[in-house]
Amino acid sequence: MTDRQILISDNLRRVRERIDAAVSRRADGRDVTLLAATKTVPAEDIIFAADELSLRIAGENKAQEFTDKFDTVRPHLDEYHFIGHLQTNKAKYVVGRAELIHSVSSLKLASEINRIAEKRGIIQPVLMEINCAAEVAKSGFLPADATAVADEFLGFSNLKLRGIMTMGPAGAEKSVLRKYFQETYAIFIDIFEKKPHNIREAVLSMGMSDSFDVAIEEGATLVRVGSAVFGSRNYV
């Protein structure tokens, strides 16, 4: 293996160990899905992780990067998700290709995804993005509106609401993140376990490289881990 491959292998092993340890601290012991966030990661690194290290799911933040990598990396993965902010005019590049769109942050975007999916004769699974800290600079639905918005999502014929996603405040202490993750988990339970839904395994996507341990402890079913697997990256 190259030095780069050794780094990825060691990092992924440590991340999986941390996931297992965090799961063991949960009352329910429920399995957690690892999604490798692959923004700016070369296709060959993703393919190595998939073919040699059994990485099964990856996710992109940018519609252009998702499109550029899709034909190369998708055959090596079980699922390829879209996890970043999605502009309405870029939805056409993602709908029908991403197994799950994590970041549906407005009813306008939901409507556009539904329109494209209906035109293509498919059902597009999505997550509703919650702005857990009500940050002005961030997209997503306010926690107080989540239940009502979920009901509106269920009215779209070609959009399937699979769960919710959130991002904690950048750089926040783990105690602060824990508070917001707990509040998001409560919303998740209210929507997907206290109300009747035909969703067999609802998804709660929260926690990234700096916070996935806490997110798992507080109920996440999927974590999005990038730099902890592939190392720090230049996003410029």
Give the least confident one: 43-47, 181-185, 196-200, 212-216: 196-200
The pLDDT value recorded for residue 196 is 55
CB contact at 8 A, 204 and 185: yes
Share of the chain above pLDDT 90, in %: 83
- The pTM score is 0.94
Q: Of 207, 141, 143, whose CA–CA distance to 174 is shortest?
A: 207
CB contact at 8 A, 49 and 12: yes
Is residue 90's pLDDT more than 80? yes
The pLDDT value recorded for residue 59 is 98
The pLDDT value recorded for residue 233 is 66
pLDDT mean across residues, the chain: 93
The pLDDT value recorded for residue 101 is 98
The pLDDT value recorded for residue 195 is 63
pLDDT digits (tens, 9 = 90+) for 151-179: 999 899 999 999 999 998 888 898 999 99
**Range 220-232 average pLDDT:** 95
Fold of 3-230: TIM Barrel (3.20.20)
Q: How do the domains of the chain map onto residue ranges? A: 3-230
The token pair at 206 is 């929260």
Radius of gyration (C-alpha) of the chain in whole angstroms: 17
